[in-house]
C-alpha cells in the first residue's frame, strides 16, 4: 500500500540511543535482538503469527527524508555527524522470523534481528507494532472461527477499528486467522481478502415500506440476494417479506436466494423460527447470517442453544480484540558480537517472568511421526543440531524434574530468514496460502491445547546447553 514515510514512527529513545552509539563509536557493533511474547491473549492455548509482510515492506523502504532530518535537527540534541549518517541510512541487518499463520507460544523468539546495533535497535518499535497488532487479531479470529464449528465467519469491524490501519491490516490478519472475508473493501483491493456486503437498515428505511425495499434490492441483485430482516419486526414482517420477494422476484428469474441477516434481538430464538419459516416455504438452501456484537463466547453459547445460524458476521469484538486488546510482545537484546565471538546477554528482574533467555538461538517444533501432532517446541543455541534418529530428552526449564524422552519424531526449524544483510530474500506467500497454512498448522495441535477454558499447557522447553548458559549468567549477574 502507498503509505507516508514511517521512518520516524519510532520511540524517541531509539534515536537518543542511536545518537549515543554513533558518538561513542558503537554504530557498527553487532547486536542480536529477539522479539517474543510472555502471555497468550484471553488465556488461550496458543497464538497465531501475523504481520511479516508489512514488516518486510517497512524494512525495504526504511529511509530518512529531508523533512525527517530537519525535524531531528530542530530538537537540538543530535550531532550533525549523526544526522549525516541518517541521510545515507541503509538497512543492513539479517532478520529471521516465524512464518505468518504459524501457531506460536510464549517466550520463543518469533523475530530475530542481527546487525549493527543502531539499526537493530532502531527498528524495535515497528517490529513490535506490526507483529503485535496482526498477531493479536489473527489469534482472536482463530478463536472465533473455531467457536463457529465449521460455519463461515465474516470480519465486520472496519467502522469500530482503532484507526484506518487497524481496519485495513486487521482484516488481513482476521483472514489469516480463518475468517472467510471482510466488509473492508480496501483490504480486498490491497491484499485479496474477499470483501462482501449487502445492505444496511438505512436501505430499508429509505423506501415506503420494507417489502418495497426488499423487492428493489432483489431486482438489482437477483443472483446474490441477502436481505436484512430485523429493521422493524424480524418474524412478523422481515422474514415473511423476504420469503414473498424470494418467490415473486428471485425464483422467477431462475435464481435462489442467498440468505437473510439478523442483526439484533434473541438470535438463538429468531434464527430457529426463521429457519422453520424458510424451510416451510421451500428455501432450505437459504442461509441465515447473524451479526451484532458477537465473539467466540457468544457464538459458542448460541450454538449450544441450537441457533440455526450458517454465517457469523463478527465486528468490534474481533477487530479490536475487545476482551484482551494487547498482545504484549517485547524486543530484547540477547547477544553482541565482539572479536568474532558471540557474547550472550541476559536481562534479570525481580519478576522472574521477565528474565530473558540469552544468546543467539533458534526454535524447533517437534512432531510425532505417527500422529503428526506437535509434541513441544524447543529453543536451542543456534549451533545446536537435533538428531531425529536418537531419543531426545525434553525438560521444563522452570521445573526441571518434569522430563520426557521423545522418540520417533521429526524436528522442524520454525524461523526462516527474510533479510540477508539488508536484502530481502523471502517472498511472502499469497494470502490464501497463508490462511490455508494456518489451518493446517492449527490442526497439528491437540484439541486439549485448543480448549477455550483452561487449555492444556503446550511446553516450550530449553535445550540443556541453553539452560546451562542461562543458569550460569543468572549466577554471575546475581553476584554482581
Is there a single domain that holds both residue 278 and residue 335?
Answer: no
**pLDDT, tens digit, 9 for 90 and up, residues 45-92:** 999 999 999 999 999 999 999 999 999 999 999 999 999 999 999 999
**What's the pLDDT score for residue 480?**
62
- Whether 433 is in a domain gets the answer yes
Residues 6+ away with beta carbon under 8 Å from 44: 139, 143, 452, 455
User: For residues 171 and 158, is the Cβ–Cβ distance under 8 A?
Assistant: yes
Longest CA–CA span in the chain (Å) reads: 85
Is there a single domain that holds both residue 209 and residue 113?
Answer: no
**What's the pLDDT score for residue 4?**
81
> Residue 454's domain is classified under what CATH number?
3.20.140.10
**What's the pLDDT score for residue 430?**
98
Task: Residue 397: give the domain boundaries.
Answer: 12-137+325-479
Is there a single domain that holds both residue 67 and residue 114?
Answer: yes
276: its cell numbers: 422453520
Instruction: Say whether 361 sits in a helix, a strand or coil.
Output: strand
> Residue 272's domain is classified under what CATH number?
3.20.20.70
Residues in the chain where the model's pLDDT stays below 50:
none
Is there a single domain that holds both residue 419 and residue 329?
Answer: yes
- Whether 186 is in a domain gets the answer no
CA-angle at 64, arms to 60 and 69, nearest 5°: 175
- Whether 413 is in a domain gets the answer yes
443: its cell numbers: 490442526
**What's the pLDDT score for residue 478?**
81
Is there a single domain that holds both residue 369 and residue 471?
Answer: yes
Is 152 exposed, middle or buried, given 0-12, 13-18 or 19+ CB atoms closer than 10 A? middle
List the alpha helices (DSSP H) in 123-163.
124-147
Is there a single domain that holds both residue 270 and residue 345?
Answer: no
- Whether 426 is in a domain gets the answer yes
**What's the pLDDT score for residue 350?**
87
**What's the pLDDT score for residue 34?**
98
Is there a single domain that holds both residue 346 and residue 442?
Answer: yes
**What's the pLDDT score for residue 2?**
60
- Whether 331 is in a domain gets the answer yes
Is there a single domain that holds both residue 119 and residue 260?
Answer: no
111: phi then psi, degrees, rounded to nearest 5: -140, 135
**What's the pLDDT score for residue 15?**
98
Is there a single domain that holds both residue 349 and residue 438?
Answer: yes
406-443 as b/e: b if 16+ CB within 10 A? beebebeebbeebbeebebebebbebeebbebbeebbe
**What's the pLDDT score for residue 347?**
95
Question: Can you list the positions of beta strands (E) in 315-355?
Answer: 329-338, 341-344
| Of residues 278, 343, 296, the one with CA closest to residue 140 | 296
Structural domains in the chain (count): 2
Is there a single domain that holds both residue 383 and residue 272?
Answer: no
Residues 6+ away with beta carbon under 8 Å from 460: 105, 106, 107, 108, 376, 377, 378, 379
**pLDDT, tens digit, 9 for 90 and up, residues 324-382:** 999 999 999 999 999 889 999 999 988 888 999 999 999 999 999 999 999 999 999 99
Is there a single domain that holds both residue 411 and residue 273?
Answer: no
Amino acid at each position: 500500500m502507498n503509505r507516508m514515510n514511517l521512518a520516524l514512527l519510532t520511540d524517541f529513545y531509539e534515536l537518543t540511543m542511536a545518537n549515543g552509539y554513533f558518538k561513542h563509536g558503537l554504530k557498527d557493533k553487532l547486536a542480536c535482538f529477539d522479539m517474543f511474547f510472555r502471555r497468550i491473549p484471553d488465556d488461550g492455548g496458543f497464538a497465531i503469527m501475523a504481520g511479516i509482510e508489512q514488516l518486510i515492506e517497512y524494512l525495504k523502504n526504511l529511509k530518512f527524508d529531508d523533512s525527517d532530518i530537519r525535524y531531528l535537527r530542530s530538537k537540538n540534541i543530535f550531532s550533525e555527524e549523526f544526522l549525516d549518517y541518517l541521510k545515507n541510512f541503509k538497512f543492513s541487518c539479517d532478520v529471521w522470523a516465524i512464518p505468518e499463520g504459524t501457531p506460536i507460544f510464549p517466550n520463543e523468539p518469533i523475530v530475530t534481528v542481527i546487525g549493527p546495533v543502531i539499526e537493530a535497535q532502531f527498528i524495535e518499535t515497528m517490529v513490535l507494532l506490526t507483529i503485535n497488532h496482526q498477531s493479536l487479531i489473527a489469534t482472536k479470529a482463530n478463536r472465533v472461527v473455531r467457536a463457529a464449528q465449521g460455519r463461515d465467519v465474516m470480519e465486520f469491524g472496519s467502522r469500530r477499528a482503532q484507526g484506518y490501519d487497524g481496519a485495513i491490516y486487521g482484516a488481513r490478519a482476521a483472514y489469516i486467522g480463518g475468517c472467510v472475508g471482510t466488509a473492508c473493501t480496501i483490504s480486498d483491493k490491497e491484499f485479496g481478502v474477499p470483501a462482501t456486503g449487502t445492505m444496511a437498515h438505512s436501505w430499508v428505511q429509505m423506501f415506503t415500506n420494507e417489502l418495497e425495499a426488499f423487492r428493489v434490492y432483489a431486482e438489482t441483485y437477483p443472483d446474490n440476494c441477502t436481505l436484512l430482516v430485523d429493521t422493524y419486526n424480524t418474524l412478523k414482517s422481515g422474514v415473511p417479506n423476504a420469503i414473498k420477494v424470494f418467490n415473486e422476484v428471485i425464483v422467477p428469474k431462475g435464481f435462489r436466494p442467498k440468505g437473510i441477516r439478523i442483526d439484533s434481538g434473541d438470535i438463538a430464538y429468531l434464527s430457529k423460527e426463521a429457519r422453520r419459516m424458510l424451510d416451510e416455504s421451500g428455501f432450505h438452501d437459504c442461509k441465515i447470517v447473524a451479526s451484532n456484537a458477537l465473539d467466540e463466547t457468544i457464538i459458542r453459547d448460541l450454538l449450544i442453544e441450537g441457533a440455526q445460524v450458517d454465517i457469523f458476521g463478527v465486528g468490534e469484538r474481533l477487530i479490536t480484540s475487545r476482551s484482551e486488546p494487547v498482545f504484549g510482545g517485547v524486543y530484547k537484546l540477547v547477544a553482541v558480537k565482539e572479536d568474532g565471538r558471540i557474547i550472550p546477554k541476559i536481562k534479570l528482574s525481580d519478576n522472574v517472568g521477565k528474565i530473558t533467555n540469552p544468546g543467539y538461538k533458534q526454535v524447533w517444533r517437534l512432531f510425532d511421526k505417527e500422529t503428526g501432532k506437535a509434541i513441544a517446541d524447543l529453543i536451542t543455541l543456534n549451533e545446536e543440531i537435533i538428531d531425529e534418529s536418537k531419543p531426545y530428552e525434553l525438560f521444563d526449564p522452570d521445573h526441571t524434574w518434569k522430563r520426557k524422552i521423545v522418540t520417533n519424531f521429526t524436528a522442524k526449524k520454525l524461523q526462516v530468514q527474510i533479510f540477508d544483510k539488508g536484502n530481502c530474500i523471502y517472498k511472502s506467500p499469497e494470502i490464501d496460502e497463508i490462511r490455508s497454512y494456518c489451518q493446517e498448522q492449527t490442526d497439528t495441535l491437540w484439541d486439549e491445547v485448543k480448549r477455550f477454558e483452561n487449555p492444556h499447557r503446550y511446553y516450550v522447553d530449553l535445550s540443556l546447553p541453553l539452560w546451562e548458559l542461562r543458569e550460569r549468567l543468572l549466577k554471575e549477574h546475581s553476584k554482581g
